[in-house]
Chain A
Amino acid sequence: MGSWGFVFLAYGIVWGCIVTYLFALKRRVRCAEEELMQLRAPEESSDHDKK
Chain B
Amino acid sequence: MKKGQPQKSRARFLGALALITIAFGLYWALVQAPRDALQGDVQRIMYLHLPSILTAYLSFFLVFIGSCLYLWKREKRDDNLAHSAAELGVLFTALTIIEGSIWGKPTWGVWWTWDARLTLTAILLLIYSGYLMLRSLIDDEDRAALSAAILGIVGFLDIPLIHMSVYWWRTLHQPPSILRPDKLPWENVHPAMLTALAINFVGFLLLYFYLLSLRLHLGEVRSEIKTRRLNQGAF
Contact = CB atoms under 8 A, between A and B. Distances in A.
Nearest to A39: B228
Contacts of A29: 214, 217-218, 221
Contacts of B229: 39
Contact of B102 (A4, A13, A22, A32): A13
Interface string A2-23: 0110110111011001100110
A4 to B, nearest CB: 6
Interface stretch (B38-46, B68-76, B163-171, B189-197): B38-46
Contacts, number: 75
Secondary structure at the B interface, as helix, strand, loop or mixed, is helix
Nearest to B35: A3
Contact of B225 (A9, A18, A25, A35): A35
Interface residues of B, number: 33
Secondary structure at the A interface, as helix, strand, loop or mixed, is helix
Contacts of A33: 2, 221
B138 to A, nearest CB: 20
B98 A22 contact: no
B103 interface: yes
Contacts of A21: 91, 211
Ordered nearest first, which 3 A-B pairs have the shortest CB separation?
Answer: A3-B41, A32-B221, A10-B102
16 contacts: A3-B41, A6-B45, A7-B30, A10-B45, A10-B48, A10-B99, A10-B102, A11-B26, A13-B98, A14-B99, A18-B95, A25-B214, A25-B218, A36-B224, A36-B225, A39-B225
